[in-house]
Amino acid sequence: MGRFFTSFDEAWEYFLARTDALEWFYGQFPDDEEFVAEGWIVEPTREIKRAAVDLQGVFAALDWLAPIPEHFLHVWVGGARGLSAKPEGLRNSGSFEAVYRRVNCFHSAVVIEVEAPHLRRFVAGTEVDTSTFLPHLTIGVTREEHDPEDLRRALLPVREIELGVAEVTQLTRIRFPAGQTTLLRPWSIIETVPL
């Protein structure tokens, strides 16, 4: 996996100048069909998910990119112990807005940037490095290593897209299959914490 970025602008500039191949997304997961993972997410609203699925059309012709199924669209907050406070301490702490806008590309994933400063307080003091914590909604991942040029051409016209604003009213802890061949299957909910 390539280096982590400290800002979305840094990630975008790297993507525009990139000469090496995009990495294979599934390569970071075990080759074990029984492997499961769990962690905390923000699940976008139905409207945000619908807009994300519509946006996937811009790279639909690139068969080396896998669109994220609508049921799996989420904003990853952290691993099972990835919150700064125990879930009870976050209960009823206050909802907040998340803005979903601007398409971007990491080393192996097409993402929508998520502006939600409140998310940083959930991961401060955890194993998450807050200097590289860039909340995002992944909408596509690489099925193989591939030259980025076709993807650059597809994403440049939609860079400034706005999917919408949604109120974050809860955090959800999920468990999901996380092997190379099972990753995008539906998750199960362990608990939800209303904010």
128-179 tens-digit pLDDT: 788 899 999 999 999 999 999 999 999 999 999 999 999 999 999 999 999 9
Q: Is residue 63 included in any domain, yes or no?
A: yes
Structural domain tally of the chain? 1
Q: Which two tokens stand for residue 1?
A: 């996996």
Question: Considering only CA atoms, which of 94, 109, 98, 116 is closest in space to residue 163?
Answer: 98
In residues, how long is the chain?
Answer: 195
Supply 195's token pair. Answer: 């904010």
CATH of the domain at 190: 3.90.1140.10
2 lies in a domain? no
pTM metric for this prediction = 0.94
CA angle in degrees (0–180, nearest 5) for 133-139-144: 95
Note whether 44 and 51 are within 8 A (CB): no
Write down the residue that tokens 């109120």 correspond to.
167
Q: Is residue 185 part of a domain?
A: yes
Residues 96-102, mean pLDDT to the nearest whole number? 97
CA distance 100 to 162: 6
Please indicate, yes or no, if residue 1 is contained in any of the structural domains.
Answer: no
* 103: in domain: yes
Cα(150)–Cα(162) distance, integer angstroms: 22
Domain residues for 158? 8-194
